[in-house]
Amino acid sequence: MSKKLFVEKTSSKGIVIGKAYVIEKTDLTPEGYVLESKEEEINKFETALNEAKAEIAHLAKDSEIFAGHNMIVEDITLYDAVIGKINDEEQNAQIAVSNAIEEISNIFKMMDDEYMKERATDVRDVGSRIISKLKGINVNPFENIKEEVVLIAEDLTPSDTALIDLKLVKGFITELGGVTSHVSIIARNLGLPALVGVNGIMSSVLDNDIIAMDASKGNIIVNPDSNELEEYKILEEKFKKEEEMLKKLENLKAVTTDGREVQLCANVGNILDIQMAVKHNIDGIGLFRSECVYMENTHFPTEDEQFEIYKEAAVLCEGKEVTIRTLDIGGDKSLPYYKFDFEENPFLGWRAIRISLELKDVFKAQLKAILRASAFGYIRIMYPMIISIEEVLEANKILEECKQELRDLNIKFDENIEVGMMIETPASVILADEFAKYVDFFSIGTNDLTQYMLVVDRGNKRISNMYNSFHPVVLQSIKKVIEAGHKENIKVGMCGEFASDAKAAKILLGLGLDEFSMSASEINNVKKQILETSFTDAKNYANEVLSKPTVESIMDFLQNNTSN
């Protein structure tokens, strides 16, 4: 008899039918032996640590994912914590490492930001590697995979994925993890269907069970019956054909049937994302979330550390646009090495540009790193969460200071570097006509804009049905911003989730949006919509949508007028 499971948040789209390969985790429970010599245990730990460092450094050469692991294993915090537990608490090396790792990972787990929560997995992964060295265990649980399988696991760490022959993997399902976990990122980059955080999957599946998974909808059937199997075979074939068709669009420019071209760019958080994105023949990077550079670190990254990352981004994009958003921290995003004061309403508090303007040294280090990198490609600077002209002027004043300091040192940079701002607050919408006189471009951040315009917490499940970027007020705001930008002859882009919604593409095109920026894997879906319509039709379509007074009437119109 078949068993059905469902998960709300999908990780990587796709439909797959395959044989289950269940990964049982190696037992790395620390041994509770009595400590006899502190010096001996410290030597054991240091030897294991050095072996782990060497392995991670080797892996980091080929995979950006392990760069974060490298920082963790090199961090003096971990070393001091373990040594302290051996010396002061007389714990053996295995228990000391286990307890230190648990304490550090709990710091990440307690953070509100989903991305940072997932970094707890990285810490535990590093800890497991050190403990395996201490226990003398070197087992590859994936070595018996000899045919195509759907991997089933409690969780999959970056270290796990480094051992897998991914050519034999048709998809992933894990009990733990979120959509920002490394296995999710890997799956999206490779185009493999994946579902994570599937409660009960480990107790529901045995080796060689047949798995039918619709990762687009979050559906899993274990041992489907003949009718279900036939249904999924049809769906799988249909999905493959659609993907093949979309793949053919990759080398085409996004041009309407009557000749209007728009830019399709990628949203990224690190170099790995860029490496994967450029394979999709993107028009550039519309949003480089620089906060990821800070969040994946153990300290405020230095000017030189950031310069190397931004320079590599510029080189990888080969002269195409790289828009770097300055530090956008606060709200639901925090830093493990900086204590934020408690705030009743963090989304309305000390965040984004407000932090940069106050932590001037941190801001200058970032701006100078970006400026230096601009000598190696087409880089743009973008300020987040702007609500006043004064903020733009103050940020630009600091930018000019940075430029002069670099000139004094004869360091090259793009003297004409473009400076833009996010449009994601009601204030920035209302004052868009004025802001357009002070910046070189706009990028509409629909995630926060929708939240602020509708006064709806996007993370609150009780009112999640009220969070909808198709709301008339959000669409009217987008229209106003685009018109304001074009009046001053500046480019207007969008880097929020709404830009990747195929149902919205024709509306946004008709409103005159110049640049769509999204996850690279979603670009061809949007490109298809643009290639199949004319700008004239899109304008009429958008006007019709904006004439609707309610969300319901808009969604009904889209339902009846959207081609698949």
Catalytic residues: 182, 495
What is the SS3 assignment for 107?
helix
* Unique residue bearing structure tokens 């003949």: 226
- Exposed / middle / buried, residue 483 (Cβ in 10 Å: 0-12, 13-18, 19+): middle
- Exposed / middle / buried, residue 342 (Cβ in 10 Å: 0-12, 13-18, 19+): exposed
| Whether 55 contacts 132, CB under 8 Å | no
- Exposed / middle / buried, residue 231 (Cβ in 10 Å: 0-12, 13-18, 19+): middle
| Whether 333 contacts 350, CB under 8 Å | no
The DSSP 8-state label assigned to residue 29 in this structure reads P
CA distance 446 to 502: 15
Q: Give CA 180 to chain center in angstroms.
A: 6
Q: Supply 394's token pair.
A: 């103050």
CA distance 110 to 92: 27
Nearest to 442 by CA among 395, 489, 505: 489
**Amino acid identity at 77:** T
- Torsions phi, psi of 322, nearest 5? -130, 105
Q: How many residues belong to the chain?
A: 564
CA distance 483 to 63: 43
Phi-psi region of 530 (alpha: psi -120 to 50; beta: other; left: phi over 0): alpha
| Whether 269 contacts 118, CB under 8 Å | no
CA distance 363 to 329: 12
Element (H, E) at 558: helix 551-561
CA distance 186 to 193: 10
Q: Give CA 442 to chain center in angstroms.
A: 21
Phi-psi region of 540 (alpha: psi -120 to 50; beta: other; left: phi over 0): alpha
**Amino acid identity at 40:** E
Cα–Cα distances in angstroms (integers) from residue 107 to residues 180, 290, 292, 335, in the given order: 18, 22, 17, 10
